[in-house]
Amino acid sequence: MKDSVVYLTGKDRIALFDLREIGHHQEEVSVRIDRIWSDDTGLVDMEFTGSSKGRQGPGDMVLSHSSNELEIHLAGLEHQSYPDPLFRYRLHPGHKEWSAWNGRRDISLRNLHHGQYRFLAQSKDLFGNISEPVALHFTVRAPFYQTWYAYVIYVLLCLFGLFLLRKWRLLSYQRAAPGVSAPVYTRPWETGSEKEGSAFTETGRQPDTVTEQQSKGRGRWDKYDRATVLFSDIQGFTRIAEEMNPELLIDELDKFFFHFDSVVDKYNIEKIKTIGDAYMAAGGIPEKNSTNPVEVVLAALEMQTYMQQLKSTRARIWDLRIGIHTGPVIAGVIGHKKVSYDIWGDTVNTASRMESSGMPGKVNISGITYELVKDYFICEYRGKLPVKYKGNIDMYFVTGLRPELSVDLKGIPNKRFYVKLQLLRLGDLEERVFDQILAEFPESLHFHTPEYARRVYDQSFLLCRSEELDQEERLLVRTAALMVFTGLTQSYTNFENRSSVISREILPLYKYSETQIDQICNLILSTKAPFDPHNKLEMILIDARMEYVGRPDYRKLINDLYREATESGRQVTWEEFTKEQLELLSGFCFFTLAGQRLREIPAAEQMAKLEREG
């Protein structure tokens, strides 16, 4: 053999084999999938071949989740016996690379997760030629618990569970009401005469709160997340009741409780009930507020001061114990023939324990109440009280107001105390403005949105801190920033005037004085263009309202402002509007140093952007 040429001779002929020509007459290499087996389909014979273009199968196979195994038999290159033809495959998703070449024609795919798959296979002959891939598409169904209709069932079951939970809670509250009130109000009377005396202090009239609740159409009860409950009790009342004439006893109790009623009315506290010598009141109901812990403790101190003053002038004056606790309560109207307003819950029981664990002449508060009032009062730690199902609760005696918050250290709140309390009450006003008033903004307001109002309000807080205003000045500026856009619910043109009117209607409800309201209204009116501030407070409020001119998204905000103006009835073209904004940018400069530092984009850059994109 020379140069891959072989000569074979016979009697009458000679044959020549040129091996070099074999490579020029090779058939196209192909691979087939001729048999498939699964639990669902059994054995399936297929005429399923690949081609130079990777031809695909006749259709998708679908396997159940329980039969997630597939046996595939590859065919092709049957004429090649030595060496054995080689095959490789790839499953997507699942295999990032092709399998190694091997001579196995049977391929097993096991433990397939649900989803859609594409199986590819190739063959290689002895000359190293590789066929085009043959493709098989198949799908493994998801198990029932992972189908879309199963998820719908899950959601419906959750909603049904929530419905049952709510029904169960309502039923629990209804069943618990009689059981909870009994241990709170039924005291362990030691004598029959004392129990009889309690009947004289029960008021037979319907309380004002009951009438208000019924007139407003409210339900029979409401839940309050934070209320402060006060219990007071006269020390040694059993002995006093035995020694004292019943008529004189009731007369003395009536005088005390009449004064207590005036005190709780003064601090917007709700009187709940009196039984014998026990007096019960609660702050933060029926109108929710943030100041009720401070106001209830202040009322308790005033009650103790009143009793001490009486004791200094009269010999036979009784000592008073007061206990206070803050927490969630349920309050509402109970009864049918004799309707009354009452409260229930662990908070009530804990307040009663605070009172019974106190000392005559002292105000005993829980650790929770202490955390809420420690910035206003001087408190003395006195130990822990074991409470069933709650563990140990810290107790504190309130000894008086903090020196910086009292007049000449006499226990009378000074102006600084009330301003500090107003700053706490500002949170209640903020909640009302954003949740009720600004939520009624017209849909045509694209620039003056509640989000923009929130940014102005937050900016006023930062500027007040930076400019080192005192507490009352911060109160005035932040209140003005909170109320400045309320007028937009009634008028778009000159809405600042309407905001001032609304402020005069709402702010007295939050204990603002007439002087403070006048100052706040003047601050609101000072934000009308052209700006001419006369004091630092007006400068801060103007800078807070104009914070948008220094923002990176100024161009988008201007588009929103133009759209808002045209939809609100103003006849102005985009060119006229742009000219107004350019004049505003060129003539406006933040008045406060903090406002200048908080500006992100200079005026010149904003003007250039507006001119370029306008």
Per-residue pLDDT, averaged over 278-287, amounts to 91
pLDDT at 519: 96
Burial of 333 (0-12, 13-18, 19+ CB in 10 A): buried
Which among 449, 456, 446 is positioned nearest to 560, based on CA atoms?
446
Q: Tell me, what DSSP letter sits at residue 473?
A: H
- Residue found by looking up tokens 């507020």 in the block: 289
598 with 462: CB under 8 angstroms?
yes
322 with 363: CB under 8 angstroms?
yes
Cα 336 → chain centroid: 38
Instruction: Report the share of the chain in percent with pLDDT over 90.
Output: 39
Does residue 372 surpass a pLDDT of 90? yes
The CATH code of domain 418-613 reads: 1.10.1300.10
Does residue 10 surpass a pLDDT of 80? no
Please state, in angstroms and rounded to a whole number, the distance separating the CA atoms of residues 413 and 118: 81
205 with 341: CB under 8 angstroms?
no
3-state helix, strand, coil in the chain (%, to 5): 45, 25, 30
Which among 166, 273, 275 is positioned nearest to 223, based on CA atoms?
166
Instruction: Determine the length of the chain.
Output: 614
Q: Is 301 helix (H, G, I), strand (E, B) or coil?
A: helix
Phi/psi at 461 (nearest 5 deg)?
A: -65, -45
436 with 482: CB under 8 angstroms?
no
Which among 488, 431, 424, 472 is positioned nearest to 454, based on CA atoms?
431
Task: Specify the higher pLDDT residue, 169 or 597.
Answer: 597
Which among 269, 38, 18 is positioned nearest to 141, based on CA atoms?
38
Query: What is the CATH topology of the domain spanning 187-413?
Result: Alpha-Beta Plaits (3.30.70)
Peptide bond into 413 cis (omega under 30): no
The 10 Å CB-count burial string (b at 16+, else e) for 197-214 is bbeebeeeeebebbeebe
SS (H, E, C) 255-293: HHHHHHHHHHHHCCCEEEEEECCEEEEEECCCCCCCCHH
CATH 1.10.1300.10 in the chain: give the residue spans.
418-613
Burial of 436 (0-12, 13-18, 19+ CB in 10 A): exposed
Residue 225's contacts (CB-CB under 8 Å, 6 or more residues apart) are 288, 328
385 with 395: CB under 8 angstroms?
yes
pLDDT band at 452 (very low <50, low <70, confident <90, very high): very high
Please state, in angstroms and rounded to a whole number, the distance separating the CA atoms of residues 363 and 354: 9
Tokens of 452: 């923009």
Per-residue pLDDT, averaged over 468-485, amounts to 94
The H-or-E segment that residue 74 falls in is strand 70-75
Q: Is 59 helix (H, G, I), strand (E, B) or coil?
A: coil
pLDDT at 175: 56
Please state, in angstroms and rounded to a whole number, the distance separating the CA atoms of residues 607 and 196: 83
Q: Which of 108-112, 149-153, 360-364 has the lowest mean pLDDT?
A: 108-112
CATH class given for the domain over 32-146: mainly beta
Per-residue pLDDT, averaged over 312-333, amounts to 84
Which among 114, 93, 398, 87 is positioned nearest to 230, based on CA atoms?
398
- Amino acid (1-letter code) at residue 3: D
Please state, in angstroms and rounded to a whole number, the distance separating the CA atoms of residues 209 and 340: 9
Cα 300 → chain centroid: 34
395 with 323: CB under 8 angstroms?
no
The H-or-E segment that residue 298 falls in is helix 292-313
Per-residue pLDDT, averaged over 427-447, amounts to 91
42-49 sheet: strands from edge to edge: 42-49, 32-38, 70-75, 106-109
Q: Tell me, what DSSP letter sits at residue 543?
A: H
Q: How many CB atoms lie within 10 A of CB 533?
A: 17
Between β-strands 278-283 and 270-275, what pairing exists: parallel, antiparallel or unpaired? antiparallel
Please state, in angstroms and rounded to a whole number, the distance separating the CA atoms of residues 8 and 51: 38
Question: What predicted TM-score, i.e. pTM, was given to this entire model?
Answer: 0.62
What pLDDT, in 10s, does the model give residues 26-80? 557 778 888 887 776 666 666 544 443 444 444 467 887 777 788 888 887 777 7
Q: How many CB atoms lie within 10 A of CB 373?
A: 21
Per-residue pLDDT, averaged over 554-582, amounts to 90
CATH 3.30.70.1230 in the chain: give the residue spans.
187-413
The H-or-E segment that residue 461 falls in is helix 450-466
Please state, in angstroms and rounded to a whole number, the distance separating the CA atoms of residues 237 and 2: 133
Phi/psi at 62 (nearest 5 deg)?
A: -125, 125
528 with 579: CB under 8 angstroms?
no
Helix axes 192-201 and 246-266, enclosed angle (nearest 10): 50
Highest mean pLDDT, choosing among 145-159, 201-215, 335-349, 537-551: 537-551
- The sign of the dihedral angle between the CA atoms of 424, 425, 430, 435 is positive
Does residue 238 surpass a pLDDT of 70? no
Does residue 313 surpass a pLDDT of 90? no
Per-residue pLDDT, averaged over 604-611, amounts to 86
pLDDT band at 481 (very low <50, low <70, confident <90, very high): very high
- What separation in angstroms does the CA of 538 have from each of 276, 464, 506, 569? 56, 11, 21, 29
